[in-house]
Amino acid sequence: MGVDGPLARRVADLRAAFEVMAGPSWRDPWTVPAPLRGPEPARPIRVALVIDPAGQGTAEQVQQGVRKAASALDDAGYAVDELEPPSIAEAAKTALDMLNPDWHLWWQFMSASMAADVRRFMPVLFEAVGEPDPMTTVQSFMTRQSLLRAWGQFQQTRPLIVAPVCTGIPFTVGTDLTPAGLAETLRGLRMALAVNALGLPAVALPVGIGGGLPQAVQAIGPRYREDLCLDAAAAIEDRLGILTPIDPQMGGMGR
């Protein structure tokens, strides 16, 4: 699930960086010769809006941010419907099941060289996700294949999905160092875990401030359709602005 992706203040800069990084290279045998722009989708582009993934609860401040993004896309001519792709919770669990054996193996060989905070965190993580089981691991790859088909079919008619990155507000420092706190954090990240398990492209971007905290969403596309994600993100940014404008007096550098 490890991939490289750019970070930027503006979608235009994100697109420029992605265009430099994308494309096949003999230096990386895992690169894919996918075009930077895919076939033109049917218009209007339909968007599935996910307010509360898998119905497990989403903070009001986060919901408001997702609805801001929906309004921006609606204004840009997208057709937005409140609808979920299939089996979000199962996809999130699949991500943890696939990663669990690697985490345990990594810990077995690297724990002595890890920083103190990591040594505190990993046993809590293991308590939250449980011991790896060979059959569960094998099954997780088959489950992912089934989910990829289901999401692929869903995205035939609704190629874009807009959802929270995390369904909760930022947690207090140290919350993820308790089993209950970490379990809650993982639950809040269920949409991000699901998308990563399925290898789908996404752009995470800010949409404003709510309750004194930044709000963000992710625009998720079909496999190899980063262009659709970037286009939707640009439409949202054009209407909602950016949270950290670049000061020209600083030569483009942030403080």
Q: What is the pLDDT of residues 124-143, one digit of tens each?
A: 999 888 888 999 999 999 99
What's the length of the chain? 255
Burial class of residue 252, CB neighbours in 10 A (0-12, 13-18, 19+):
exposed
Say what the pLDDT of residue 183 is: 92
182 domain residue, yes or no: yes
CA 41, CA 147: separation in Å to the nearest integer?
A: 23
The two beta strands, 160-163 and 213-220, are antiparallel
The pLDDT tens digits of the residues spanning 197-250 come to 999 999 999 999 998 999 999 999 999 999 999 999 999 999 999 887 777 676
CA 12, CA 19: separation in Å to the nearest integer?
A: 11
**Contact in structure between 206 and 216 (CB atoms under 8 Å):** yes
252 domain residue, yes or no: no
Confidence of residue 28 (pLDDT cuts 50, 70, 90): confident
The two beta strands, 160-163 and 79-82, are unpaired
Report which residue type is found at 42: A
2 domain residue, yes or no: no
Residue 98's domain comprises: 42-243
Phi–psi pair at 252, nearest 5 degrees: 85, 0
What residue has token string 């307010």?
Answer: 51
219 domain residue, yes or no: yes
229 domain residue, yes or no: yes
22 domain residue, yes or no: no
6-10, 90-94, 102-106, 224-228: the lowest-pLDDT one: 102-106
- Measure Cα distances from 218 to 49, 200, 201, 249 in Å: 11, 11, 10, 31
Phi–psi pair at 5, nearest 5 degrees: -150, 145
37-41, 72-76, 214-218, 242-246: the lowest-pLDDT one: 242-246
Q: Domain with 136 in it: what CATH number?
A: 3.90.1300.10
DSSP state of 52: S
Number of domains, the chain: 1
- Chain centroid offset of residue 153 CA: 20
147 domain residue, yes or no: yes
CA 221, CA 240: separation in Å to the nearest integer?
A: 21
CA 108, CA 110: separation in Å to the nearest integer?
A: 6
97 domain residue, yes or no: yes
Say what the pLDDT of residue 254 is: 44
Mean pLDDT of the 156-181 span:
93
Say what the pLDDT of residue 244 is: 77
Mean pLDDT of the 38-62 span:
96
**Contact in structure between 226 and 18 (CB atoms under 8 Å):** yes
